[in-house]
């Protein structure tokens, strides 16, 4: 690993990952699997005290798509999670490459301006990098002061989603993943016809000495929507080992909702909202949390999965509530980290219940998922000494139907009553 002095002059970073993923559906419904490897190499250098340059490239290779190209004979459905690693509709051959980062940083005192291609982690637009990171192109500004006030602003005109690695017009990124159904119950038709040229983002935040952290984000997506996200976090207790968080989201339609033709619209509802709470307790090397999320029944809340993972406290791997309305979710999570002399061990487990609308009610259910209970867990082993930089993680998940009986198998395949496994082998250079 580069020392601090070396980083001042410039340093390389690299990582390679091999991943085997499988989803086993109940009964005669089709199973899916994929084996793929992907990697990243980057170089960052401080050219002047006020100027920094960064670049990174990503590559992906699969070892056969037989496990994801097949379709279930009963429903006609293909895989969901496995195609996140290789999207046969958007990718061809056996390899893909991308250049997610190519940027300059200009830093003056408490001000930073970033221009070019880069990755930013915000509540609604973030990296979530497998296999490619969700990268953005445009201009980003950050301000921070010792008093606790901080602010950010961004203008984005291109996005490279993790499904393709290709920078596209904002509107064209929507539909790179699954498109679901429109409010009329028919397959959505907004893919490649959504008109949106930019996203403007503003964030205002303040960190109080008492441990209270406030943040307000506004995402204006041209011709589609305006989304306000607010969050309050508070650390308390003599050891600051209790954490209480709350969040609120309000989304309104802008312009044509993506297209002036109703059947081609990405956003049809005039507004949508959601809120959540979480209580977390640190216990020695572990932490336990209880979280709650509620999405109102006024409209489907759209947080494009092409732009990153969801911000909800009840979020679990392989779960999404984006695209739904009238949702109630609760999740109990546990995590623990052990740093031993020869290895590091990280573990987590979570149990969540998602009460979702009737999957046949298209006005509330874009992705036609029934109410479920989701149990998952992971163990990650990272040795030290000779194998320093290597890690092996095994993730397992089971999702079970938790509401009324569902007879339509199209609402079950990859959605409920399945077992999912993910083996991830990584090496960081």
**pLDDT tens string 226-270:** 999 999 999 998 889 999 999 999 999 999 999 999 999 999 999
What does the pLDDT read at residue 392? Answer: 98
Q: Is the pLDDT of residue 6 over 50?
A: no
d(CA 285, CA 337): 6
* pLDDT tens digits for range 137-153: 999 999 998 789 999 99
- Residue 261: the pLDDT is 94
Per-residue pLDDT for 27 more than 60?
yes
Q: Residue 107: is the preceding peptide bond cis (ω within 30°)?
A: no
Q: What is the b/e burial string over 259-279, where b = at least 16 CB atoms within 10 angstroms of the residue's CB?
A: beeeebbbbbbeebbbbbebe
The whole-number pLDDT of residue 326 equals 98
Query: What is the rounded average pLDDT of the residues 289-318?
Result: 97
Q: Report all structural domains of the chain as residue ranges with CATH numbers, in order of start.
A: 4-428 (2.40.160.10)
- Each residue's pLDDT tens digit, 400-416: 999 888 999 999 999 99
Share of the chain above pLDDT 70, in %: 98
Tell me the pLDDT of the chain averaged across its residues: 95
Q: What is the pLDDT of residue 8?
A: 62
Query: What's the whole-number mean pLDDT along residues 56-77?
Result: 97
pLDDT of residue 338: 95
Supply the DSSP string of 316-362, one letter for each residue. Answer: -TT---TTBSSEEEEEEEEEEEEE-SSEEEEEEEEEEEEE---TT-T
Residue 3, pLDDT above cutoff 50: no
pLDDT band at 7 (very low <50, low <70, confident <90, very high): low
- Do residues 423 and 413 make contact, with C-beta atoms less than 8 angstroms apart? no
pLDDT at position 66 over 80: yes
Average confidence (pLDDT) over 294-299: 96
Would you list the DSSP string of 125-153?
S----SSS--EEEEEEEEEE-TTSEEEEE
């Amino acid at each position: 690993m580069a020392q601090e002095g070396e980083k001042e002059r410039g340093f390389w970073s690299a990582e390679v990952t091999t991943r085997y993923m499988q989803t086993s559906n109940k009964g005669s419904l089709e199973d899916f699997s994929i084996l793929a490897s992907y990697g990243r190499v980057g170089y960052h250098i401080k050219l002047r005290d006020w100027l920094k340059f960064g670049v990174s490239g990503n590559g992906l290779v699969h070892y056969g798509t037989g496990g994801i190209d097949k379709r279930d004979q009963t429903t006609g459905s293909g895989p969901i999670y496995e195609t996140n690693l290789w999207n046969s509709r958007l990718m061809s051959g056996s390899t893909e490459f991308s250049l997610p980062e190519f940027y300059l940083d200009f830093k003056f005192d408490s001000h930073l301006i970033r221009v070019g291609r880069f990755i930013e982690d915000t509540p609604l637009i973030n990296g979530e990098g497998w296999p490619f990171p969700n990268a953005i192109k445009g201009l980003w500004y950050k301000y921070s002061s010792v008093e606790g006030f901080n602010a950010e602003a961004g203008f984005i005109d291109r996005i490279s989603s993790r499904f393709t690695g290709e920078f596209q017009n904002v509107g064209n990124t929507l539909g790179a993943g699954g498109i679901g159904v429109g409010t009329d119950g028919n397959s959505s038709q907004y893919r490649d016809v959504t008109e949106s040229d930019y996203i403007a983002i503003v964030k205002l935040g303040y960190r109080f000495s008492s441990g209270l952290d406030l943040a307000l984000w506004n995402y204006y997506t041209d011709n589609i929507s305006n989304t306000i996200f607010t969050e309050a976090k508070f650390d308390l207790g003599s050891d600051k080992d209790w954490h209480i968080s709350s969040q609120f989201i309000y989304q309104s339609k802008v312009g044509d909702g993506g297209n002036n033709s109703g059947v081609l619209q990405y956003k049809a509802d005039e507004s949508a909202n959601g809120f959540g709470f979480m209580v977390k307790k640190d216990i020695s090397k572990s932490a336990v949390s209880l979280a709650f999320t509620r999405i109102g029944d006024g409209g489907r809340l759209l947080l494009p999965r092409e732009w990153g993972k969801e911000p909800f406290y009840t979020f679990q791997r392989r779960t999404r509530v984006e695209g739904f309305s009238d949702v109630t979710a609760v999740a109990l999570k546990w995590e623990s980290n052990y740093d031993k002399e020869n290895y590091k061990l990280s573990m987590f487990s979570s149990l969540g219940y998602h009460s979702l609308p009737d999957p046949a009610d298209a006005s509330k259910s874009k992705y036609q998922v029934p109410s479920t209970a989701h149990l998952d867990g992971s163990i990650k082993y990272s040795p030290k000494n000779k194998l320093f930089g290597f890690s092996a993680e095994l993730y397992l998940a089971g999702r079970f139907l938790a509401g009324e009986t569902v007879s339509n198998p199209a609402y079950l395949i990859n959605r409920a009553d399945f077992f999912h496994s993910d083996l991830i082998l990584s090496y960081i250079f």
